[in-house]
Amino acid sequence: MSSPTQRRASPKLSPPAGSRSPSRGRSSSRKKRTSSRGKASSRSRSTNRKSSTDRKPSTDRKSREAKDGKKQTAPQDKHKKICETCKTEKMEYGGVFGVIFLIFFLPFTVYFINLACGRQRCTLTAMPKIPGFWCFFDRQAALIFFGWLAFQVILFMLPIGHYYCGKPLRSGDRLPYRCNGFHALLISMAAFALAVRFDVPLTIVYDKYYQILTTAFLFSVFLSIVLYIRSRYVDNASLSPAGNTGNVIYDFFVGHELNPRINNFDLKFFFEMRPGLIGWVMINFIFVLKAYQDTGTYPVSLLLVTMFQTIYVADAFFFESSVLTTMDIMCDGFGYMLAFGDLVWVPFLYCLQTRYLLDHPTELTWYTMCGIAALNYIGYYIFRSSNTEKNLFQKNPYDPRLSHYETIPTASGKKLLVSGWWGMVRKPNYLGDLCMALAWSLPCGLNALTYFYPVYFLILLVHRERRDSKESQKKYGSSWDRYCQRVKYRIFPCFY
């Protein structure tokens, strides 16, 4: 596979004027020499030949250098213009003090919730029992984590799947991305089935859950430090527009470099999707296997939530190319926030419901299961159909399937969709996401802690909607104001 730099569209240099003039100069000099009757020495011939070939190309060389000079200064001027606008104008997350708080609060939240929801009890009303310090470290757990990471790296580099171009960067380049995540998910599931068939002790992941969590956390910190050090040696055009304040702590948290790559291996795209999301599914499968080994049956509520979450992750990989238009890929750099979120937050918090149902089985009536399944289906339908509308419209606003949809033109030439799901609320995909999140917690009954995910997700999506609205206001101006007048509600119809 070729490197991304080889795939970038470089300026085409036209052949310099007079590039063939040296040969024409030689031919004309020969004609003059043969037509002359006087005898000349070999030294004079060589002198005449040299002078005839050098005289005219000197003019051509000047014109060539002048043209080449224009072509060389244009990219420099363009790069200089990019550098002038690459500084982050405004800090988010409460500024420097806010990100310092989050750097410590996020891992504290992961450990606290996992410890509070243990095998004996799952409640926030009492302090969780904290085991000994060395119970969080284990060599075998580290081997499991890094083995899983290496396995996903191999799958990521397989020459299967299709290439897609990302959104244009500030430099005008569009980076290529190989999307083979759905294949990686299927291969991982097949590998899990083979491991079960040959009695590989997979439930050791449950036994060493906290040790694996700690390994993932320490690696995310190490990765974030390496990414920041690396970002100090790249040009300004490669920096993130959101993480280039000049403050070390803030840029370290948000991410200083936008798209860190090792040849054609995109680090942010890999960690955004692969080890954490697929790891989440595998942890759920291991919990189901553990329940069967302990009880000899498959708890229905545990199977239901596992199925919901597996479909959700499979959908993300089946439409993996749509991730290239998200804020994580387009705007946010790759730093502590994404590294910790991808490796720790997603796999070790999003499995909270399945871990609770393993340790605290709940019985559901058939009509309760049908109602929860209906809510999940409705949420998935809204999520998928609204995203499909958005993707079709972004690829081709003149798609015949969207011919009956109404749009609002903008000064930039783009259009804003005000029909279909996007004419009902501004973020219908967020509405579908939240419906599914609630359906994942309902099988856990009335345990408040198991509703952490939908509550957290609501806060996250509201923040993202506000952030996206500000960016759209800057980009589209009065057209965005007209859109907001037409589509008044942000996420929830008739409510918010």
Average pLDDT, integer, range 476-492: 89
Per-residue pLDDT band at 405 (split at 50, 70, 90)? confident
Q: For the chain, what is the mean pLDDT? A: 82
Q: Which of 65-69, 115-119, 184-188, 451-455 has the lowest mean pLDDT?
A: 65-69
Residue 316 predicted with pLDDT over 90: yes
Structure tokens at 204: 């050791």
Q: 383: closest CA among 308, 331, 279? A: 308
Q: Give me the pLDDT at residue 263, please.
A: 87
Residue 239 forms beta bridges with which residues? 257
Q: Give me the pLDDT at residue 418, please.
A: 86
Q: Give me the pLDDT at residue 86, please.
A: 66
pLDDT digits (tens, 9 = 90+) for 63-97: 444 444 434 444 444 444 444 456 777 888 889 99
Residue 251 CA to residue 96 CA, distance in Å, equals: 9
Structure tokens at 357: 């149902």
Angle (nearest 5°) at CA 165 between 154 and 317: 50
Pairwise pLDDT comparison (171 vs 201), residue with the higher score:
201
Query: By the 8 A CB rule, do 361 and 294 touch?
Result: no
pLDDT digits (tens, 9 = 90+) for 369-385: 999 999 999 999 999 99
Query: By the 8 A CB rule, do 280 and 314 touch?
Result: no
Per-residue pLDDT band at 137 (split at 50, 70, 90)? confident
Residue 418 CA to residue 488 CA, distance in Å, equals: 11
Residue 65 CA to residue 285 CA, distance in Å, equals: 65
Q: Give me the pLDDT at residue 200, please.
A: 94
Pairwise pLDDT comparison (174 vs 104), residue with the higher score:
104
Average pLDDT, integer, range 280-288: 97
Q: Give me the pLDDT at residue 44, please.
A: 42
Q: Which of 129-138, 161-170, 364-373 has the lowest mean pLDDT?
A: 129-138
Map tokens 């972004």 to a residue. Answer: 394
Residue 33 predicted with pLDDT over 60: no
Q: Cα dist. 208→137, 139, 202 in Å?
A: 9, 10, 11
Percent of the chain predicted with pLDDT > 70: 82
Q: Give me the pLDDT at residue 473, please.
A: 86
Query: By the 8 A CB rule, do 389 and 417 touch?
Result: yes
Residue 35 CA to residue 187 CA, distance in Å, equals: 79
Q: What is the pTM of this model?
A: 0.80
Q: Give me the pLDDT at residue 282, please.
A: 97
Our CA dihedral for 266, 272, 273, 275, rounded to 10 degrees, sits at 90
Identify which of 3-12, 78-87, 447-456 has the greatest average pLDDT.
447-456
User: 446-471 in b/e burial notation, b at 16+ Cβ within 10 A?
Assistant: ebebbbbbbebbbeebbeebeeeeee
User: 82-95 in b/e burial notation, b at 16+ Cβ within 10 A?
Assistant: beeebebeebebee
Given the DSSP bridges, would you call strands 261-262 and 176-179 parallel, antiparallel or unpaired? Answer: unpaired
pLDDT digits (tens, 9 = 90+) for 416-431: 888 888 889 999 999 9
Per-residue pLDDT band at 471 (split at 50, 70, 90)? confident
Per-residue pLDDT band at 104 (split at 50, 70, 90)? very high
Per-residue pLDDT band at 20 (split at 50, 70, 90)? very low
Residue type, 106: L
Residue 37 predicted with pLDDT over 50: no
Average pLDDT, integer, range 38-54: 41
pLDDT digits (tens, 9 = 90+) for 227-270: 999 999 988 888 888 888 989 999 999 999 999 999 889 999 99
Query: By the 8 A CB rule, do 471 and 412 touch?
Result: no
Map tokens 């470290």 to a residue. Answer: 137
Q: Give me the pLDDT at residue 133, please.
A: 66
Residue 374 CA to residue 380 CA, distance in Å, equals: 10
DSSP classification of residue 119: S
Average pLDDT, integer, range 187-209: 96
Residue 22 predicted with pLDDT over 50: no
Beta strands in 418-489 (DSSP E): none
Residue type, 457: F
Q: Give me the pLDDT at residue 70, please.
A: 39
Structure tokens at 345: 């937050």
